[in-house]
């Protein structure tokens, strides 16, 4: 999957996730043909926020995160944070899908 297709897939998943009330794309870019960056702030249906950012590389078949940060907050405190120290996320695409099923 190339970087443009990956970004479009991630954005589509954000729109289709019933647990996300709104999504603000803060930054989105293709750094090189095989590298990209995505950052967004999501408002969840319960009023919490999920901020996500990911720098990724495409090997031609799939995109893999190199650096990422996902953090969930309510109006006053951090609830949970995932970053490079949590290698269980294969990609932002996977993380959004997993989040939408588990929340």
pLDDT at 6 over 90: no
pTM of the model: 0.78
Within 10 Å of residue 13's Cβ, how many Cβ atoms?
Answer: 19
Report how far residue 11's alpha carbon sits from residue 25's, in angstroms, rounded to the nearest whole number.
9
pLDDT at 103 over 70: no
Residue 22: phi and psi, rounded to 5, are -155, 155
Give the three-class secondary structure for 60.
coil
pLDDT at 57 over 60: yes
Q: Which of the four pLDDT bands, split at 50, 70 and 90, describes residue 14?
A: confident
What one-character-per-residue DSSP string does 62-103 give? Answer: -EEEEEEEEEEE-SSSEEEEEETT-TT-S-HHHHHHHHHHH-
Q: What is the pLDDT of residue 68?
A: 84
Read off the pLDDT of residues 18-48 as tens digits, 9 standing for 90 and up. Answer: 889 999 999 999 878 889 999 999 999 999 9
Q: Which of the four pLDDT bands, split at 50, 70 and 90, describes residue 92?
A: low
Give the three-class secondary structure for 55.
strand
Report domain extents, the chain: 3-102
């Amino acid at each position: 999957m190339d970087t443009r297709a990956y970004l479009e897939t991630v954005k589509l998943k954000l729109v289709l996730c019933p647990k996300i009330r709104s999504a603000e794309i803060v930054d989105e870019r293709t750094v090189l043909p095989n590298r990209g960056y995505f950052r967004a702030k999501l408002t969840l249906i319960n009023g919490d926020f999920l901020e996500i950012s990911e720098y990724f590389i495409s090997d031609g078949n799939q995109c893999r995160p190199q650096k990422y940060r996902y953090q969930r907050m309510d109006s006053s405190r951090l609830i949970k944070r995932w970053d490079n120290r949590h290698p269980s996320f294969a990609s932002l695409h996977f993380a959004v899908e997993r989040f939408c099923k588990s929340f």
